Amino acid sequence: MNKGELVRELEKRLGSRKAATEALDAVLDTIVREVTKGGKVGITGFGTFDRVERAARTGRNPHSGASVRIPKAKAPRFRAGAAFKAYVKKPSTLPKASPAAQRASAGTASAAAKAAPAKKNAAKATPATKATTAAAKKAATKTVAKAAPAKKAATTKAAPAKKTATKATATKAAAKKTATTSAARTAPAKKASATKATATKATATKAAATRTTKAAAKKAPAKTTTAKKTARR
């Protein structure tokens, strides 16, 4: 795996190629600068980077076999950690998930563990809430029961008023009936009086007619007698 492939792997976990490149460059630059100064960079579980000073010595050229003088020098050195060696020795012990994923899962597990006591406390608190709700229901029923007699009293008080109203309407209806009956009774009397008056008028006219006819009858003989007397003369 080269640097580009390593950046691509980091990009899968960080989500950005730029962030992966900058992170890798920052780590490598920090290690190189520290080792160059003669320091040591130790990463737990991975290994240790440090600087080694080698003294002057005589070496041998592998191609020609001649001896060669090697001056003293400084060189970087990496020593793998125990966990790194164990994983390389036995690959089946290597965890499938990355450390970041493990930390994320551990964080969710801890959050769930923290939430579990809260749920238990809520479950413990539910009886109290149930008791409070039951007390509230009882108080509501008591208030309703207290309000019910008041409503009954109001209805009972309103009932006599309704009865008096019905009595007043009944009296009005009775007065109307009596008025109509009295009017009905007086109507025949008025008709009878009118008929009597007309009858009396008719009798009076008949009597006057008879009187006139009698007077005319009396005068007629007198006229005839005077006419006979004049004829005799």
Edge-to-edge, what's the strand order for the sheet holding 73-80? 41-43, 47-54, 73-80
Measuring CA to CA, how many Å separate 42 from each of 26, 32, 34? 16, 13, 11
Which one, of 84, 34, 31, 77, lies nearest residue 53 by Cα?
Answer: 77
The pLDDT tens digits for 104-132 are 667 666 776 777 665 666 555 455 455 55
* H or E, element range at 186: helix 99-232
The pLDDT tens digits for 81-104 are 999 999 999 999 988 877 666 776
Measuring CA to CA, how many Å separate 153 from each of 148, 149, 156, 158, 159? 9, 6, 5, 8, 10
Would you say 68 and 56 are in contact if contact means Cβ atoms under 8 Å apart? Answer: no
Would you say 21 and 7 are in contact if contact means Cβ atoms under 8 Å apart? Answer: yes
Please state, rounded to an integer, the average pLDDT across all residues of the chain: 73
| Pairwise pLDDT comparison (195 vs 210), residue with the higher score | 210
> What's the rounded Cα separation, in Å, for the pair 185 and 51?
144
What tokens does 46 get? Answer: 């991975």
Report which residue type is found at 191: K
**How many C-beta neighbours within 10 Å does residue 110 have?**
10
Q: 19-33, 101-115, 159-173: lowest mean pLDDT where?
A: 159-173
> What's the rounded Cα separation, in Å, for the pair 106 and 223?
163
| Pairwise pLDDT comparison (41 vs 201), residue with the higher score | 41
What tokens does 182 get? Answer: 């009295």
Report domain extents, the chain. Answer: 3-95
Q: What is the largest CA-CA distance in the chain?
A: 230
Q: For 123-154, b where at least 16 C-beta lie within 10 A, e where not — what string?
A: eeeeeeeeeeeeeeeeeeeeeeeeeeeeeeee
pLDDT over threshold 80, residue 233? no
Note the CATH architecture for domain 3-95.
Irregular (4.10)
